Amino acid sequence: MRLTLQIWRQADTAASGGYEDYVVEDATPEMSLLELLDRLNDSLVAAGRDPIAFDSDCREGVCGSCGITVDGRPHGPLPNTPSCRQHVRSFTDGARVRMEPFRSAAYPVVRDLVVDRSALDRLIEAGGHIAVDAGTAADADAEPLPHDDAEYALDFAACIGCGACVAACPNGAAHLYAGAKLLHLGTVTRGKQERSRRARNLAGQMEEEFGPCSSYGECAAVCPESIPLTAVAAVNREVVRARLRGPKN
């Protein structure tokens, strides 16, 4: 397959970026988008040119480090699929494919297709955790949790933190991400102890760095783990609950 790749190149955060065209003559349908970039980089390095910078790690749809906007859609054309699991077979021979970094005010471009997603880390630091006593681990049955509650919490714990939800939202909202953390940690037994404080802290940090929810659901359509929109609704619900219970709860 022959593909023309229109790729965003940017030297660093302070530099002005722009698109450059590259032709890959030997793409194959089974290649992932990251493997396609690998093939392009091989040819660029062989020609003595700078390779395209992009993030990747496990390449199995687990780590959440990959993230490319393809033809205006975070991760690529297939819904609910990370960039590393998107394949060349989604495009026709001779197609022109535009690749750029995740676009959001919360994600400054580091270089080319790499963005700084530290804003998501700051959300976790604000409230995406639970307090656990140091020392010997408690017995597995010391804090019983009903099976249905455990499964519910795991559904939202599946979030891999790729940040595509923020890039998909025209307002750059992080409600799907924050809501997944609130529902996951607010359901498990130990997490309930800090539920109100977590909601206040997460919501406050989110308002500082991210935009308001657009209410259109673009985030759920690109989430690789198919986190449902109930996570978005949970944000306001958890904040209201925290306010009603007062500052000490």
Which tens digit of pLDDT belongs to each residue from 157-206?
999 999 999 999 999 999 999 999 999 999 998 888 899 999 999 999 99
Whether 76 and 33 have beta carbons less than 8 Å apart is answered as: yes
Q: For the chain, how far is it from start to end, CA to CA, in angstroms?
A: 60
Query: Given this model, what pLDDT does residue 96 score?
Result: 98
Q: Could you give the residue range(s) of every CATH 3.10.20.30 domain in the chain?
A: 3-111
State pLDDT tens for residues 28-78: 999 999 999 999 999 999 999 999 999 999 999 999 999 999 999 999 999
3-state secondary structure of 18: strand
For domain 118-245, say whether CATH 3.90.79.10 is its number: no
More confident site: 129 or 46: 46
Q: Could you give the residue range(s) of every CATH 1.10.1060.10 domain in the chain?
A: 118-245
Query: Given this model, what pLDDT does residue 247 score?
Result: 65
Query: Given this model, what pLDDT does residue 176 score?
Result: 97
For domain 3-111, say whether CATH 3.10.20.30 is its number: yes
State pLDDT tens for residues 208-238: 999 999 989 999 999 999 999 999 999 999 9
